[in-house]
Structure 1
Amino acid sequence: MTKRFLTSHGIPFTEHNINDEPQYIDYLKQNGFLAVPVLESNGMKPFSGFRPDELKKLAV
């Protein structure tokens, strides 16, 4: 749902799939995340899960 939201609002993103790039699992764990998706963006605190309230801030 997060990916669909970003795509439908024309928000560019880089996807790192932990199945294809398992090295990101350690990175996420070190940053306190236990679930995916995790979204990181300049000027925003990183968050996980589908968060329409936060995603709308990127669509402005």
Structure 2
Amino acid sequence: MTITLYSKPGCFGCRKTAEKFTALGVPFQKVDLTATPAALEYVTEELGYAQAPIVVVDDHFHWSGLRPDLIEQAATLHAAAMAGASARGE
């Protein structure tokens, strides 16, 4: 399970989202929207978001803005995925 945080430099919500994932021990991939035009196109054109941060857990679970409730939900899903992988010996 890969969680991707699309962010912009100086963005308060982006920084807080990253801090919360880190505090929960959830690994994530950070993508700078100002340095990656394809990522900006993806989140605006395909996902329809106009505000950073944008967090993508999977095709059906993603959001925009600082959402501690959804960060916690993503952390729970991540823990369940890791437990399942461990049980399968991965």
Correspondence 1:46 to 2:62: yes
Identify if the C-alpha distance between structure 1 residues 22 and 43 changes in structure 2 by more than 3 Å, giving closer, same or farther. Answer: closer
Bigger radius of gyration among the two: 2
Q: Greater share of strand residues, 1 or 2?
A: 2
Change over 3 Å in CA distance of 1:44–1:11 after alignment to 2 = farther
Task: Select the structure that is richer in helix.
Answer: 2
Q: What TM-score do you get using the length of structure 2 for normalisation?
A: 0.59
TM-score normalised by structure 1 residue count:
0.85
Question: Percent sequence identity over matched residues?
Answer: 25
5 Å-filtered alignment, 1:28-39, equals 28-30=43-45, 31-39=47-55
Residue-pair matches, total? 60
How far has the Cα of 1:20 moved from its partner?
Answer: 1.7
- Structure 2 unaligned runs (5+)? 1-15, 77-90
Could you list the runs of 4 or more consecutive aligned residues of structure 1 that deviate by over 3 angstroms after TM superposition? none
